[in-house]
Amino acid sequence: MLFSSITFLFLFLPIMLAVYYIAPPQWKNLLLLAGSLIFYAWGGEPVYIILMILSILLNYFCGMDIENKSENEAKAKRSLVFAITVNIVLLVFFKYFGFLVESTNTLFGISIPYRELALPIGISFYTFQEISYIVDVYRGKVKAQQSLVKYALYVSMFPQLVAGPIVCYGDIEKQLTARKISGRKLGQGAMLFIIGLSKKAVLANTLGKIFEEISSTSASNLTVLMAWLGCITYAFQIYFDFSGYSDMAIGLGRMFGFEFKKNFDVPYISKSITEFWRRWHISLSSWFREYVYIPLGGNHVTISRNIVNLLIVWMLTGMWHGAAWNFIVWGIYYGVVLVLEKYVWGGQLWIGGQVYCSIFMH
């Protein structure tokens, strides 16, 4: 179920808001959880609810186990490694299995048969949220959540489940227990939702049609002006589509009393690639920095090691966006540019390069 669909706008959302606002406080989390599970089942393969529930149970109990073993670092670390491994294996299997088999067949000239699996909706987002949760419990940044309903709501909350932003547990820990709902917040959330819906339905969809027309033009009839127009419309289609969904998610969260952090901050005005990635999909960049880049050593290593760390992070960032070689190339491209910008150009590269490299995403 898409936020821009008639079913969501005129059936699911009004019913959810009405039931949620008239329900007593002690029932709100349970009602929002039930609604989120219905939303998830309606929007994709209902059988994948089982996968999500199993993932929730795994990380819920692992979080408590890690906290209980906090005085024994070796045991706590083993529980952490186990939980992270299972999360990554599930993500790799459902999102990358077909890509890995196809790549193996092509590379070695063999023919390993496999069945194409439907990608569980939101698995990249809720997997990253759960990994951040258990890592933060291990680090002692947050306490393990004792309520299964509250933890399940954190993972499955429908506003941010499909397209983010990636919400770290510490950012909404207190809101899961107590949050304010009011007519003012409802109105603010509705305004953000309408702005996001306009970005998606009006701007992104219109630009997408222009790009489709240009991309379907034969090379012999394609002019330089049309090619540049295609690159620019595609770059802005991506921005308005993704930032639109983020605005809708943040608006929906506020309508239900939750405050999510901003995920886009006018990225195309950036003066460098580094600044761009501080403004574009902020929650993803922050996640990779906090849970991959810093554990690898961050800046507190030799220059050669730092370069390797950056390339690893950006290769993984490319893979996160999609299971295809063009996404991996796109990620490595950014990694190389960021390394050059950090150690050669001094952070003065114009962001116009984003318009060019966005074509890798297609």
Q: Return the active site residues.
A: 321
**Half-sphere CA count of 88, side-chain side, radius 13 A:** 9
Inter-residue contact 129 to 30 (CB < 8 Å): no
Return d(Cα 359, Cα 235) in angstroms, integer. 8
Return d(Cα 63, Cα 152) in angstroms, integer. 13
Q: Is 33 exposed, middle or buried (0-12, 13-18, 19+ CB in 10 A)?
A: buried
At residue 297, what are phi and psi to the nearest 5 degrees? Answer: 125, -15
Angle between helices 148-156 and 25-43 (to 10 degrees): 40
**Half-sphere CA count of 329, side-chain side, radius 13 A:** 9
Q: In which residue are the tokens 């990358």 written?
A: 96
Give the residue among 203, 264, 262, 193 at the shortest CA–CA distance from 236: 203
Inter-residue contact 357 to 235 (CB < 8 Å): no
Tokens for 270, please give them: 């950036």
Cβ neighbours of 303 (radius 10 Å): 11
Sign of CA dihedral 51, 55, 123, 240: positive
Return d(Cα 138, Cα 166) in angstroms, integer. 19
Three-state SS for 212-252 is HHHHCCCHHHCCHHHHHHHHHHHHHHHHHHHHHHHHHHHHH
Sign of CA dihedral 100, 51, 15, 196: negative
